[in-house]
Structure 1
Amino acid sequence: MTTDSMFALTGKVAVVTGGNGGIGLAMAAALAEAGARVMLAARNPDKGAEAVRHIVDRGGDARFVPADLSEPEAASGCIAAVAADEGRLDILVNNAGITARKRPEDLDIAEWEAVLRTNLTAAFACAKAAYPALKASGAGRILNIGSMYSLFGAPFASAYGASKGGIVQLTRSLATAWAADGITVNAVLPGWIATDMGVSARSQVQGLHERIVARTPAGRWGEATDLAGLAVFLAGPSAAFITGASIPVDGGYSIA
């Protein structure tokens, strides 16, 4: 296997949920650059069209697929439709996510359920819907996007942390269930990344920026593109024997 073929995704079809911005878009663009045809599944069509242009202008192949990932049936239907329309599905990136930045005593049950439904239930629904096509691919890949809060607790992230902790356990369960079908399932755990969500937290939590920079050995916040290479690696042939792993991408935050 040559160096180029180790990371080639030519002919593959990928779905990236929440792929119209932030980490999802950075991963989608990288998958497209490696040769995959990428479907961006999200709610906002205007933002989706802009994301498609971003990828196409760089020589990639992308299409926006409208989907409300907070509704499990809609999530499943989106994946099934892509597999049917494209005739295959090789890669699923479960990236769509929301948060409710409140202390637990201030968090409504409806807010809790919305976070779990979007971040965790949708990931399961998409994976289950993708399973037949991923099995048929013979080299299916699932990347679930967790968080540093898969590992740590925070007073303002009870619902988010629960959902992302669940992502790690879901990853392990699916990995053991589907390894014999040639499907690998891994989790990526972003640290403090300067996405819209991260910047929002920085503006809402006093002193957060300074504390993060001080604790992170790399001495900075991450950028969405810092996760792009790992997505290509885990989605490609080089990672065929890696499954059930949860990999932090955090500049060393989780070891400091």
Structure 2
Amino acid sequence: MIGSTMPAADTGGAALGRLAGRTALITGASRGIGAAVAQRFAAEGARVVLAHHPRADMTAFAEELAARLRGDGGEAVALPVDLGTIDGPAALVEAARQAMGPLDIVVANAAATGRGAAVELDVEQFDAVQAVNTRGTWLLARAAYPDLVASGHGSLITVSSVMVATGQPGAVHYTASKAAILGMTRTLAREWGPDGIRVNAIMPGAIRTEHEAETMPDADAVAAQILPLQCLQRRGTPDDLSGAFLFLAGDDSTFVTGQVLCVDGGWVHY
């Protein structure tokens, strides 16, 4: 993982971790932010389900990470899913339940993305992003709801983007989906609060992930664009977000729901 400094899970630490005895489902966990979250949760004692796109390379990344976590004494399994299908999210939750038991934590991190001017995107491109990011998040949450209620400390964490606040051009379909996730988060927090479920969102800034490195390989050029926008003068890495996810997943945030936690080095104030 780019910039990864997260220590591996170990058997002794996991037994006493802040998420000991809990099961977490993390989508988009092959690499990047999702993989960093999975490693952090495993290090804190959670059983982790690494959901990944069924593409061959993502399957290999997720399987490798799951094997590494198991080798370090954790409990981890990798499961493929196409979150853009109507049945995919519910099938994933059922498979996760069968593999690791009822869920306590769900991290809806996976996202479809893309670039294109608003007047040039076609309906299929727009709908494909909404199917994964907006509908997929709702269907995942709906399928996990019974487990989260029964947990007694259920936590759903969604993932938005600073692009909702900055309104950057060239990704109206992606930005619209991430804005919808904020509305969904607040609505679910209201609806599910009486059931004891907490629902919060994390809003990442510009994070140097493997995907960014592949699409924008000149790291110095990207940094020259990003750093003037931030208060903190360094690039963010996936590990910079894992602590925020841990906070919202565990008992340190038992009275926190319906909130948006912006982790962006001080780019926007949301």
| TM-score, normalized by the shorter chain, greater than 0.5 | yes
Q: Give the secondary structure class of the aligned counterpart of 2:119.
A: helix
Q: Which residue of 2 aligns with 1:198?
A: 212
Q: Which amino acid aligns with 2:182?
A: V
Count of matched residue positions in the alignment of Structure 1 and Structure 2 = 253
Q: Which residue of 1 aligns with 2:41?
A: 31
Say yes or no: does 1:246 pair with 2:256: no
Q: Which residue of 2 aligns with 1:134?
A: 148
2-side partners of 1:237 and 1:218: how far apart?
Answer: 28
The 3 A distance-change label for structure 1 pair 63 and 6 is: closer
Aligned mate of 2:238, from 194, 203, 224: 224
The answer as to whether partners of 1:150 and 1:168 remain within 8 angstroms in 2 is no
The answer as to whether partners of 1:49 and 1:64 remain within 8 angstroms in 2 is yes
Q: Which residue of 1 aligns with 2:130?
A: 116
The answer as to whether partners of 2:81 and 2:89 remain within 8 angstroms in 1 is yes
Unaligned 5+ segments in structure 2 are 1-13
Q: Give the secondary structure class of the aligned counterpart of 1:41.
A: strand
1-side partners of 2:86 and 2:244: how far apart?
Answer: 27
Q: Which amino acid aligns with 1:11?
A: G
Shift of 1:158: 0.3
1-side partners of 2:15 and 2:96: how far apart?
Answer: 26
Q: Which residue of 2 aligns with 1:18?
A: 28
Once the two structures are superposed, residues 87-115 of structure 1 have per-residue CA deviations (whole angstroms, 9 ceiling, x without a partner) of 31100000001211111112111111111
Shift of 1:221: 1.6
Unaligned 5+ segments in structure 1 are none
> Please, what TM-score do these two structures have when normalized by structure 2?
0.87
1-side partners of 2:217 and 2:172: how far apart?
Answer: 19
The answer as to whether partners of 1:7 and 1:232 remain within 8 angstroms in 2 is no
2-side partners of 1:211 and 1:103: how far apart?
Answer: 20
Q: Give the secondary structure class of the aligned counterpart of 1:243.
A: coil
2-side partners of 1:86 and 1:62: how far apart?
Answer: 8
Q: Give the secondary structure class of the aligned counterpart of 2:76.
A: strand
1-side partners of 2:242 and 2:73: how far apart?
Answer: 16
Once the two structures are superposed, residues 17-46 of structure 1 have per-residue CA deviations (whole angstroms, 9 ceiling, x without a partner) of 111110000001111111100001112321
Q: Give the secondary structure class of the aligned counterpart of 2:166.
A: coil
The 3 A distance-change label for structure 1 pair 242 and 7 is: farther
Aligned mate of 1:173, from 174, 187, 212: 187
Once the two structures are superposed, residues 214-242 of structure 1 have per-residue CA deviations (whole angstroms, 9 ceiling, x without a partner) of 12111122000001111111111111110
The answer as to whether partners of 1:202 and 1:209 remain within 8 angstroms in 2 is no
1-side partners of 2:194 and 2:256: how far apart?
Answer: 13
2-side partners of 1:131 and 1:15: how far apart?
Answer: 13
1-side partners of 2:164 and 2:74: how far apart?
Answer: 32
Say yes or no: does 1:61 pair with 2:75: yes
The 3 A distance-change label for structure 1 pair 5 and 255 is: farther
The answer as to whether partners of 2:77 and 2:99 remain within 8 angstroms in 1 is no
The 3 A distance-change label for structure 1 pair 60 and 23 is: same
Aligned mate of 1:51, from 59, 65, 73: 65
2-side partners of 1:6 and 1:244: how far apart?
Answer: 28
The 3 A distance-change label for structure 1 pair 240 and 67 is: same
Shift of 1:208: 4.5
Shift of 1:196: 2.7
